[in-house]
Amino acid sequence: MEKATFGAGCFWGVEAEFRKLPGVVETAVGYSGGTTANPSYEDVCSDETGHAEVVEVTFDPAKIGYEQLLDVFWNAHDPTTLNRQGPDIGSQYRSAIFTHSPEQEAAARASKARLEASGRFRRPIVTEIVPAGPFWRAEEYHQQYLEKRGLAACHVGMR
């Protein structure tokens, strides 16, 4: 099993997109990329910890490739809006790929370059690609939030 970590705005809808994929074994929502150890949702929402809301995806590379996960990531949000997705504003909603290996970093950078060259977006892609640091699991009520409430999606979804 391998891990992939993505920040694409509010983690509820992003998690729901990844949970649909065959080969994804587990997802967890949480916080990454900040300076505070074990932050709470309230800490992260203060926009003072430096964390992004993220989804940590555990996947079976024999069943789904990292490139396929990158495709879902790019389609699940607008990577051209800095620190914002839909109505959610703040650095915790930034577009980010947290890589777990040099191979993931190379694949993420190549994927971003292809997307930039495609002309799909009129504005520059602002997605940061950085090595994964500590992942802090969000409070239990955030895990599979939409699924627990019988909701198919929130404002984040496939574009």
Active site members: 10
Q: Do the beta carbons of residue 91 and residue 35 sit within 8 Å?
A: no
34-55 exposure pattern, b = at least 16 Cβ within 10 A, e = fewer: beeeebebebbeeeebebbbbb
The residue type of 14 is V
H or E stretch covering 110:
helix 102-118
Q: Can you name the residues that pair with 6 across neighbouring β-strands?
A: 55, 97
